[in-house]
Amino acid sequence: MIYRGMQKNKPVRLQKAIADLGVCSRRRAEILIQEGKVRVNGKVITQMGVKVDPRSDEIQVVGKAYGAQKQEKVYYLFYKPKNTVSTLSDPEGRPCLTDHVKYLKTRVYPIGRLDFESEGLMILTNDGALTQKITHPSSGIHKTYDVTVDQAVTQEKLQCLKEGAVVEGKKVVPVSCEWSALRYPEGRRPEGSRFLKFVLQDGRKREIRVICENNGFKVTRLVRVAIGKIELRNLRSGELKQVDSQTILPLF
């Protein structure tokens, strides 16, 4: 299957060309190149640094095709349901994003991920450049989570949660951790609530769950309610909503 460059341009790095085509993120493209799953003009490319002309070179990527015309960039807000893998396929056969986007005319990819047990807001797009911006550590985009734990959190324990934990060998600290104002009117929130609001920046794998478990709490529900200024609002579980680029711009 062949992807053809769609606009006159100076040579660009292969992984960037693949991302700009909306195939996947630049980071994922680099992995595919290293695995020998990308060809340029029929030749397998496994080294980083190869440059291509997006108009004349033929780029072949593991059997996925988009055609020869530049695709319009599309953006969707998606409420990932609980117990759904936040990728387009799963070797274990679990429910995944493809079950929700297979009817779309344009192939889209998730920006970032949510744990299998977690639910909430994700952004899906074919805009590789946007994916790179949002996932890069320098983006500084905060993500907000509504978290329910199995027992009341005292002021003392809340302070412990704010101190973070070691996740994947690295000490991480949330941007903030407070009792959630989503569940109680202002001024009526009791101390010892089971409902928490976490704000993260990078968001390492299972970060919130590890922080809670290290302090004796089990997370019973975890919902991402915002990415930057983009909020989940009234989206229902499994619902997909197309938005324009102006909706995404507030992220930056």
Q: Which of 83, 105, 109 is nearest to 96 (CA)?
A: 83
Please tell me the distance from the alpha carbon of residue 20 to that of residue 59, in angstroms, as a whole number: 12
Q: Which of 107, 83, 101, 80 is nearest to 93 (CA)?
A: 83
Catalytic annotation on 90? no
> Any residues with CB less than 8 A from the CB of 127 and at least 6 apart, and which?
22, 73, 74, 75
Among 57, 90, 99, 115, the one annotated catalytic: 115
Please tell me the distance from the alpha carbon of residue 86 to that of residue 32, in angstroms, as a whole number: 19
Q: Which of 131, 134, 117 is nearest to 80 (CA)?
A: 117
Joined together, the tokens standing for residue 104 give 């779309």
CB 23 within 8 A of CB 32: no
Please tell me the distance from the alpha carbon of residue 199 to that of residue 48, in angstroms, as a whole number: 35
Number of DSSP helices (H) and strands (E) in the chain, helices first: 7, 17
How many other C-beta atoms lie within 10 A of the C-beta of residue 179?
19
* Catalytic residue annotation: 115
